[in-house]
Amino acid sequence: MLLVTPGRAEAIENIKRAALEGRFNDKTEPFDPQWGPEALKANILNYASRLHSLGFKLKNALARAIVDIWVRKWSDPVNEIVGLEKLDALNGGPAFITSNHFNPFDNGVHRRMCKLAGHGRLVAVSQGTNFVMPGLNGFILRNIDVVPIIPEPSYMNGEFRRLMQEHLDKNRLILIYPEQEMWFNYRKPRPGKRGAFLFAAQWNVPVVPMFVELKDASSFADVKLVLHILDPIFPDPSKSARENSFLMCEADYQAKKTCYEQCYGKPLVYDFEPSDIAGLKA
């Protein structure tokens, strides 16, 4: 079971329009918070300054407990994980993992995967605007194990890199969504941005592509998930970080494309049809 937020009809229309126009990394959620760049940067820096405080650690424990309860109550009976043995190639070391992004809580299955694989706590890179969301969803996004990302060079070259290094030094798996924006219950993998793969090449760590298959259900809330763990992609030491980022990005997309075609038994094309949205009644 996944979180269903308001505005689904509008979101689906936005997805349809963006897919047909080839805008695969655009926002489609109608109620995403809008903040100016300076206010957003101040909010994110305040978050980073609280990470080692007792107050944050208590809220972090509560946020992780809420997600764990949600996973146990709703996800365990219906989620399936395929290819867990692929993580053996990491030898317990750190890696970036990539996945399709279709729900605010879709990383619950990735968190479960981390525990089953003995990798401990999953870290997710999250858009900065998620940190100003209201309600329970906002509380979790502000206090779970995340690294915020914003289009601000001084932050990205400073605090962001420091936070990432801290997690990599602890041999954690870091989830990045190359698709950038969430498209609600959208089954198809979308072409991703290169940033995740540039990070992997610069830090000389592998990328593990993952694809979440969405099983048919009677409603949005009852969609069943199958997490497919694909072969890790390692940087080529003979190539530059820039060259590796392009090669790894393309290899990641092709792996997800192949998995999609195997799961759904049809070629990946972006002509929109109602079945592209899991749980949507035509």
- Give me the DSSP letters along 127-149: EGGGGG--HHHHHHHHHSSEEEE
**pLDDT in the model for residue 3:** 58
Give yes or no for residue 263 having a pLDDT over 90: yes
**pLDDT in the model for residue 219:** 65
**pLDDT in the model for residue 65:** 86
Give yes or no for residue 83 having a pLDDT over 80: yes
Distances (CA, A) of 267 to 188, 199, 261: 10, 30, 5
- Token pair of 60, please? 């972090």
Structural domain includes residue 23 = yes
Q: How far apart are CA 73 and CA 127, in angstroms?
A: 27
**pLDDT in the model for residue 150:** 84
How many other β-carbons are positioned within 10 Å of the β-carbon of residue 265? 7
Structural domain includes residue 3 = no
Structural domain includes residue 142 = yes
Give yes or no for residue 279 having a pLDDT over 70: yes
Residue 115 — φ and ψ, nearest 5°?
-65, -45
Residues 6+ apart with CB under 8 A from 96: 173, 174, 175, 176, 196, 199, 200, 205, 206, 207, 208
Percentage of the chain beyond pLDDT 70 is: 91
Environment class of 99 (CB within 10 Å of its CB; exposed 0-12, middle 13-18, buried 19+):
buried
User: Which CATH number fits the domain that encloses residue 150?
Assistant: 3.40.1130
Give yes or no for residue 4 having a pLDDT over 70: no
Name the residue range of residue 120's domain.
Answer: 8-276
Give yes or no for residue 75 having a pLDDT over 80: no
Mean pLDDT is lowest, of 2-6, 9-13, 42-46, 160-164, for: 2-6
CA torsion 167-170-208-20 (nearest 10°) is: -10
CB contact burial 229-259 (16+ within 10 A = b; e otherwise): bbebbbbeeeeeeeebbebbbebbbebbbeb
Structural domain includes residue 1 = no
- pLDDT class of 92 with cuts at 50, 70, 90: very high
Mean pLDDT is lowest, of 146-160, 183-197, 227-241, 247-261, for: 146-160
Structural domain includes residue 31 = yes
Give yes or no for residue 1 having a pLDDT over 50: no
Q: How far apart are CA 52 and CA 168, in angstroms?
A: 17
Structural domain includes residue 282 = no
Contact of 276 with 19, CB cutoff 8 Å: yes
- Token pair of 178, please? 């190359």
What's the mean pLDDT when you consider all of the chain? 88
Count of structural domains, the chain: 1
pLDDT digits 0-9 by tens, 132-183: 777 787 788 788 888 988 888 888 899 899 999 999 999 999 999 999 999 9
Percentage of the chain beyond pLDDT 90 is: 56
Contact of 2 with 103, CB cutoff 8 Å: yes
| Strands annotated E in 74-223 | 80-82, 95-98, 123-127, 146-149, 173-176, 207-215
